[in-house]
Homo-oligomer: A and B are copies of this chain.
Amino acid sequence: MQTWSAGWTAGSRGPLEGDSQGGAADRAREIVGRVGDKWTVAVVHALGNGPLRFTEIRRGVDGISQRMLTTTLRALERDGLVLRTVYPEIPPRVDYELTPVGRSLLDTLWLLMNWAVVHTEDIDRARREYDAK
């Protein structure tokens, strides 16, 4: 045994320069975390073809519960990414559609989805190899 009380005061040049000091990158990461969440991605993607009603989204996004759909849509509405329109009819009708900013997000998300599709095999293989230990 030994305690390595000496030897690690040296080294460690500072990488990441210009990152941790400015709050901008942190904010960006927060937003990415918000918007990169599973249900958000699915819902934004579902709205890509035009306005949809609540139930239509629910049918399109497989496995989402009513509560999570409501929560996700509220968050998107709050961030100005989705526009909610209520038609005071009987029966009630509510349409959801992407705002221009929401559509710009979809463009970017689509790139990420595409990355995922392209690399699905790589990832699956890597997982199998890793798990084989």
A4-B91, A32-B36 known; A49+B80 contact, CB < 8 A: no
Q: Specify how many copies of this chain sit in the oligomer.
A: 2
Interface residues on A, range: 35 or more
Cβ contacts under 8 Å, A115 to chain B: 104-105, 108
Whether A122 pairs with B101 at a CB distance below 8 angstroms is yes
- Judged by DSSP, the binding face of A is helix
Task: Please give the residue numbers on chain A whose beta carbons come within 8 Å of chain B beta carbons, in ascending order.
Answer: 2, 4, 7-8, 12, 15-16, 19-20, 24-33, 35-38, 41-42, 45-46, 49-50, 52-53, 55-56, 59-62, 77-81, 90-91, 101, 104-105, 108-109, 111-117, 119-120, 122-123, 125-127, 129-131
